[in-house]
Every structure is written in structure tokens, then in C-alpha cells.
Structure 1
Amino acid sequence: MELALFDLDNTLLSGDSDYEWAQFLIGKGAVDAEIQEAKNKAFYEHYKAGTLDIDEFLAFQLAPLARHDRAELDAWHAEYVANRIRPLIGAPARELVARHLDAGHLCAIVTATNSFVTGPIAREFGIPHLIGTIPAVDVPSGRFTGAPTGIPSFQAGKITRVEAWLESQGLWWGSFAKTWFYSDSHNDLPLLEKVSHPVAVDPDPTLRSRAERDGWPVLSLRG
């Protein structure tokens, strides 16, 4: 058995799903464009620098979910994927995922972006498992609270979340002959270092340097 893990934003996608969700909401008039753009830019700079405060970011990222009922949000999913996400999925990304799925590998997307936004994207790729940051839900109403729950799937938290997921299926790292993780970001170095086959995908400069130093494969999924 082999395990294939995929980062999503700027890895399988040639863009960022959370940014695209924000742009979608701007188009719906659901968030203020000026504030959203300024905050997104500031958070992205911290992300690139490795200094992102994940709790502060999640409070910002999840707040719009709390302003709308689930029926309305769910209805937006198909339009969001069709107009904002499919244009970011290149044939090489689909082919990479298909190779792992066709080989019978256990596959999962592992992303810091929340599972509400990324759930339909995982389904678009046909990937059966998604490990993303989980938005908290008010049980009586079914509405999102605007806060995360559990450990964010970010940096070393990705390892924690993957291991909990594997344990829930009666598996662990030693269950696999090979383990793969594909990512573009140095923020994912903890999980890249954990697997037997780390792969840098259109990597940022820090990750590219590390991949070249340690002989990790570097590939592009653009196109």
C-alpha cells in the first residue's frame, strides 16, 4: 500500500482557493472588496515569510461563513467551482492525481484552507479524503460560528491531522511501502520531511533551495 498526500493551493491548483472564494464573495456583494483585498495581501505576505499567525488568519477567513445560512452557502458551491476553481486546474494536476488513484494508492488533500471551501474541490479531483481546517458549527442552527475547531491543518499541524486520520482507519506511517507529499510551500516542510517521497511542486524559493540541496524531485503542474 502507498499513501499520496497533496497540498492544494498553488500545488494542485495554479492559484489559491481561499483567495478565489473571497473574490467570489466580493462578486456576490457578501464582503467588502477593499478590506478583503488589503487583509488578504497582508496575510499572504506573512505566509510567504513563514510568519503567519494561523489563528488570526482563520478568524478572518472563516468570518464570512458565519454571515450566511448553510443553504445559501451550499448553493454557491457549484458556481464557485465552475467559475473560480476549474480554470485553475491544469491537465498535469489531474493526470498526477489520476496516476495515484489508478495505482490504488490511498489519497488525500492536506490543506490549511477550511474544509467547507475545499470539499467540492477534492470531489472535483476525485480524491476521496480531505484533511483541512474544520469550521466550527452551531449544532442547533447548523450555521457556521466563524471560528475553527480542533488543530488547524497548517505547518506541523498537518502531521498531527494526518496521523489522527490514519489512526481513525487503523493505519500509521509504517502501514505504507511509500508515502508521497506534493507541495509548493516551505510552510509544508514538516510534512515533506516526514514522508518517504517529498516532491516540490512549482516551489517557492525556500522550498526550491531545500529540494535542490536534498535531491527532492521538483515538478510543475502548470498548464
Structure 2
Amino acid sequence: MKLALFDLDHTLLPLDSDYAWGQFTVRLGWRDAETHTRANDAFYEQYKAGTLDIHEYIRFSVAPLAEHGPQKADAAHRRFMDEVILPAMQPRAIDLVRAHQAAGDQVLIVTATNEFITRPIAHAFGVDELIAIDLERDGQGNPTGAIRGTPSFREGKVARVEQWLSERGLDWSRVERSTFYSDSINDLPLLEKVHEPVATNPDERLRSIADGRGWRILNLFE
């Protein structure tokens, strides 16, 4: 097996889908603009700094989904895709994914954003295999605010890819070639695990590490 792993936000997309979804819920009137934006900005700065408490953030981010129910949430997400995500998808990113697929690689998107937000985005890129933060849900299908299983965040991305491999009777020794594209210092554990780490639209700290280690640097959104 040859693996091509992609982070999503600021890697394949020139935006953070989690942050953008939060701002979209403000536009829908689901949240107070000032209160939400202040909290969302604070969480985003923690993410960039590598200090984010992912469990605290998930409780914050999924609260509107439980308040409005699955049907309204799904309808809102369809609007989000049409108004925010699809216009942001750029040809170079789409072509990169398709090039790996054409080469026969197994393509996965591995993201720290939750599966409600990211599964339709993965499908828009033509990717069926998604590793994202799985949400615990109640009997009505509403998120409880808890994470189900291991969060695909930092070291958790390595654990979740290993789980994905194990479910198919594989492990890293059975992977002939693995590539991981990411922009974020938070993804350093998985970048260090694969055969070919690619710092893609990298943040300042990841760019410095990539320069020092001779990793490939790719800028998709110039």
C-alpha cells in the first residue's frame, strides 16, 4: 500500500473550516457575534500556538448543533458548502489529490476538525477515507459535546492512522510509501512518522523545521 495523507485546513483549503463554520453559525443567528468571535479567536490562537485543549474546544464548537438538531444542522451545512467551502477550493489542491489517486495511492484526509464539518468537504475533494474527530451523539443524533475515541489531534493523528491500518490487517511495515501534507506545527508527530513529510503552506515554526531537516515545502495557494 502507498498512502497519501492530507491535513485539511490551510493545507487543502486556504481557510480553517472549523473557524469558518463557527463564523457561519453567527451569520445564521445561532450565536451572539461578539461573544462567539471572542471565544473562537482565542481558541484559534491556542491552536496556532500548539496549546489547544481539544476537548474544551469541541464542547464549545458543537453546542449549536445540539441546540438546533440534526435536520437544521445538515441544511445549514449544505449552505455552508455552497457559500463558503466550494468557492474556496482551488484547482492546485484538487489536482494534487487527483494525482495521488491516479497513481494508485490510498488517499486519506486526516484532520483535527470534527467529522460533521469535514465529511462533506472530503467528498467534495473526491476522498472517501476520512479520519476526523468523531463526535459522541445522544439517542436523537445530537452531539453531546464529548469526543468518541481518540481525537485526531497532534499525536492522536498517528494513533488514528495506525487504527485505520490495523482495521485493514496492516501496520506501518506494510506501507510501501507514505506521504503526509500539512501546514501545521501541531502535525509534527505524523510528519515525523511518514516516509515523505511535505510542509504545505507551512506556518512559521513548521517552515523552520522543514528547512532544517530538508523536507519538501509546497505552497499551493500562492
Query: TM-score, normalized by length of structure 2?
Result: 0.96
Match of 2:124 in 1: 124
Match of 2:220 in 1: 221
Q: Does 1:35 align with 2:32?
A: no
In 1, distance between residues paired with 2:110 and 2:66? 23
Q: Is the 8 A contact 1:65 1:146 kept in 2?
A: no
Q: Does 1:179 align with 2:175?
A: no
Give the deviation of 1:14 after TM superposition: 0.1
Instruction: In structure 1, give the amino acid aligned to 2:174.
Output: S
Q: Is the 8 A contact 1:182 1:198 kept in 2?
A: yes
Instruction: In structure 1, give the amino acid aligned to 2:134.
Output: I
Q: Is the 8 A contact 1:63 1:147 kept in 2?
A: no
- Cα RMSD after superposing both structures: 1.1
CA-to-partner distance for each residue in 1:116-140, whole Å, 9 max, x for gaps?
11010000000111100111111x3
Give the deviation of 1:146 after TM superposition: 2.4
Q: Is the 8 A contact 1:136 1:147 kept in 2?
A: yes
Match of 2:190 in 1: 191
Match of 1:71 in 2: 71
Q: Does 1:205 align with 2:199?
A: no
Q: Is the 8 A contact 2:55 2:146 kept in 1?
A: no
SS in 2 for 1:35: helix
SS in 2 for 1:222: coil
For structure 2, list consecutive stretches of 5 or more residues without a partner in the other structure. Answer: none
Q: Does 1:49 align with 2:49?
A: yes
SS in 2 for 1:5: strand
Q: How do residues 3-152 of structure 1 correspond to structure 2 at under 5 angstroms?
A: 3-138=3-138, 140-152=139-151
Runs of 4+ off more than 2 Å: none
Give the deviation of 1:56 after TM superposition: 1.3
Give the deviation of 1:175 after TM superposition: 1.8
Instruction: In structure 2, give the amino acid aligned to 1:96.
Output: L
Match of 1:170 in 2: 169
Give the deviation of 1:147 after TM superposition: 2.1
**Stretch deviating more after TM superposition (77-86 or 115-124):** 77-86
Give the deviation of 1:173 after TM superposition: 1.3
SS in 2 for 1:83: helix
Identical aligned residues as a percent? 51
**Stretch deviating more after TM superposition (7-16 or 141-150):** 141-150
Q: Is the 8 A contact 1:62 1:147 kept in 2?
A: no
Q: Is the 8 A contact 1:211 1:218 kept in 2?
A: yes
Q: Is the 8 A contact 1:64 1:146 kept in 2?
A: no
In 2, distance between residues paired with 1:164 and 1:100? 22
CA-to-partner distance for each residue in 1:38-84, whole Å, 9 max, x for gaps?
11111111111111111211111122221121111112222111111
SS in 1 for 2:150: coil
Q: Is the 8 A contact 2:152 2:160 kept in 1?
A: yes
CA-to-partner distance for each residue in 1:9-54, whole Å, 9 max, x for gaps?
1100000001111121111111111111111111111111111111
Give the deviation of 1:142 after TM superposition: 2.0
